[in-house]
Amino acid sequence: MTKLPEPIKWTPSPVEHIKSKSNFLRGSIVASLADETTGAIAADDTQLIKFHGSYQQTDRDLDAERKKQKLEPLYSFMIRARVPAGLATADQWLVFDRLADKYANGTLKLTTRQAFQWHGVLKRDLKSTLRGINATLMDTIAACGDVNRNVMATSNEGLSPLVSEVAAFAQTISDHLLPKTTAYHEIWLDKKLLTEGKVDEEPILGKLYLPRKFKIALAVPPYNDTDVFANDLGLIAIEEDGKLVGFNVAIGGGMGMTFGNEETYPRLADVIGYVAKEQALQVIEEVVKVQRDYGNRENRKLSRLKYTLDRLTTPVFKELVETRSGIQLEAARPYKFEQNGDVFGWRKSVRNKWFLGLFVEHGRVRDAGNYKLKSALRDLARIKVCDFRLTGNQGLVLGQIEEGDKLLVEKILHKYGVDQEVQLSGIRKNAIACVALNTCSLAFAEAERYLPTLNTKIEAILAELDLTHDDILIRMTGCPNGCGRPFLGEIGLVGRSLGRYNLYLGAGFAGERLNTLYKEMLDEPAILEELSTLLSLYAEEREAGERFGDFVVRAGIVAPSQAVVSY
Ligand code: SRM
Ligand code: SF4
């Protein structure tokens, strides 16, 4: 056996210092909340509050004007709930809908990791909003920060008999890896008694928590709708005779990169082996602990597991996990993914309940003109005919519907103009756009507010080529951090500056091959011109059943990029 490496002693980054002196994530958040002289919180607390599920933001549309008027920026907070496997009840939906109106900007945002977000909450309303969420027995702990984030899993039980067990396991993982500090309950829920005479401990995450965010997703083949290979740790459900027996384990995925920094890159996870379901939690915990001990704590740009993996090499990382857990992974079992987008329309589960996959453009739940999605979903929640399952593609599945209620569901959707019969183009229903402006502090360009308009223009091109109903994956983000997983788009548009995007092409349709940079700094006319040429070629020269992403690679328009590998 080779000698395994020792962890490196890093010079701690500023964020490591903040965590270290925070007394298990308390910092001065209580004092910050009480300070009425500003809408902001103290600088160190802006790092710590992420662990509690919130980000301080400004309204970027107003930043310049307020600066001119010598006003402080319009500070507000984004709140993110932790929703393992994206499962929410009708009662939770109703409360969340009300919180959006009462304290936030009137919309609910369904994220690319199956979570809820509220934007625009003022400091004075933070506590009430968090308490409102907690009153529904959902919380926001570890939805952000250097911890294990929301655990994703396929939520549409109409897709496979394995889905409910896999989703329940996602909840188990989420609970197991949660921070143990009682800071959250003290600060937001006033539960002081919890800490009396008790010292906080973090047996898994450690006193300094993880070096960086950590993400886990589970997928049930043939559906890769959680983009399992974009995660630090991916688990692919393996079945035998219709029963879940275990998981293939994939490590080292991540989308984020920084323009101009060659050391950073998007990366797909490597499949390192198979583990039986009874031993899976132990292996998961050990992967987290290896990253905790070996991850870079000096340079946050290089601290995700993917960089730890490439520094140590995959075989060494795997050996560390096996040696420390005492569990040998078996050879990865065969599996096949067919798609990573959502499945729309009605599906029946093995328990004879119906599930309706619903399109929600970029996850924004609101009423717009005659399309009153927010009202429709509120009505459905009121009469409790379904539960609400968020997908990993900013979509929604209405779940557990009785046969006799199907018509009623359709009638309510129709009443509010949310008809499922509406013929969405293949490009629109598969499109993902991150939040970007006006709330994201890191955005260089628009995404959610712009992609719908751009798609309308692309739809005109597609219509001429008779490609309207071809499924094509387009993904846009306002910067290269990758929140909409743009490097897994057959067409990826990544914001460089206002109105300018890098165009990436050629990802696989099932999330198993990254795309490749094709052209830089394109404005809208240039994007449309490029896509018009490429889509025309595709319409003329594609082979039967060939996907757009595969075509551009086969035709030599772009070189193939990294694909999933097995060790
Ligand atoms: Fe993200 C940071 C929004 C999924 C990679 N992400 C942010 C912040 C919090 C900006 C910030 O740090 O100030 C964005 C808040 C915008 C806003 O106003 O809401 C933000 N990320 C989102 C969401 C809401 C996008 C969406 O439109 O759905 C997604 C929330 C997920 C959730 O519920 O937890 C979201 N972010 C992702 C994903 C996709 C995924 O996880 O499958 C990624 C790529 C995968 C990955 O992590 O590698 C992603 N977000 C990032 C990064 C880059 C991390 C990196 O390793 O380089 C940042 C920046 C950072 O961490 O420094 C970031
Ligand atoms: Fe913000 Fe960039 Fe993430 Fe979009 S990809 S939400 S612009 S950090």
pLDDT at 204: 98
**Which residue type is seen at 105?**
N
Tokens 């994220």 sit on residue: 111
- Among protein residues, the one with the nearest Cα to ligand 2's atom 2 is 479
pLDDT digits (tens, 9 = 90+) for 298-346: 999 999 999 999 999 999 999 999 999 999 999 999 999 999 999 999 9
pLDDT in tens, 217-228: 999 999 999 999
- Ligand 1: atom nearest CA of 432 is 27
- What is residue 197's predicted lDDT score, i.e. its pLDDT? 66
- At residue 198 the predicted structure's pLDDT band, cuts being 50, 70 and 90, is confident
Cβ of 308 below 6 Å from ligand 1: no
> According to the model, what pLDDT value does residue 59 have?
93
Q: Which residues line ligand 2 (CB under 6 A)?
A: 434-436, 440, 442-443, 447, 477-479, 481-483
Domain boundaries along the sequence of the chain: 153-341, 345-415, 432-554
Record the tokens describing residue 18, joined without a space: 């903040």
Residue 420 DSSP code: T
Burial of 444 (0-12, 13-18, 19+ CB in 10 A): buried
Q: Angle at Cα 166 formed by Cα 164 and Cα 169, nearest 5°?
A: 110
List the one residue out of 280, 301, 278 whose CA is nearest residue 233: 280
pLDDT at 196: 63
Gap between the Cα atoms of 493 and 481, Å rounded: 12
The rounded Å distance from CA 93 to ligand 2 centre is 26
> What 8-state DSSP symbol labels residue 3?
P
Query: Quick check: CB of 135 below 6 Å from ligand 1?
Result: no
Residue 239: the pLDDT is 97
Domain 153-341: assigned CATH number: 3.30.413.10
Above 90 in pLDDT, residue 2? no
**Do the strands 432-433 and 116-121 form a parallel or antiparallel pair, or are they unpaired?**
unpaired
Q: How far apart are the first and last CA of the chain?
A: 17
Compute the distance from residue 442 Cα to the ligand 1 centre, in Å.
10
pLDDT at 481 over 80: yes
The share of the chain scoring above pLDDT 90, in percent, equals 96
Pick the ligand that lies closest to the CA of residue 441. Answer: 1
Judged by DSSP in three states, 33 sits in helix
Helices 277-294 & 314-325, crossing angle to 10 degrees?
Answer: 120
pLDDT classification of 199: cutoffs 50, 70, 90: confident
Average pLDDT over the chain reads 96
Instruction: Say whether pLDDT at 501 is over 60.
Output: yes
Q: Which of 60, 442, 446 for a ligand 2 pocket mutation test, highest count of atoms within 8 Å of Cβ?
A: 442
State the pLDDT confidence band at 191, using cuts at 50, 70 and 90.
confident
Query: Could you give the C-alpha distances from 312 to 296, 317, 320, in angstroms and in order?
Result: 11, 6, 10
The pLDDT of residue 193 = 57
* CATH homologous superfamily for the domain 432-554: Sulfite Reductase Hemoprotein, domain 1 (3.30.413.10)
Whether 299 is in the pocket of ligand 1, judged by its Cβ within 6 Å, is no
The CATH number of 345-415, from 3.40.50.2020, 3.40.605.10, 3.40.50.300, 3.90.480.10, is 3.90.480.10
What b/e sequence results for 235-253 when a residue is b if at least 16 CB atoms lie within 10 Å of its CB, and e otherwise? Answer: bbbbbeeeebebbbbbbbb
The reply to whether 153-341 and 432-554 are identical in fold is: yes
**pLDDT tens, position by position, 256-302:** 999 999 999 999 999 999 999 999 999 999 999 999 999 999 999 99
Atom number of ligand 2 nearest to Cα 447: 4
Q: Which residues are catalytic?
A: 80, 149, 213, 215, 434, 440, 479, 483
- Residue 161 burial class via C-beta count within 10 angstroms: exposed 0-12, middle 13-18, buried 19 and up: middle
Which ligand 1 atom minimizes the distance to the CA of 443? 10
What average pLDDT does this structure show over 193-199? 64
152 HSE (CA, 13 A, CB side): 32
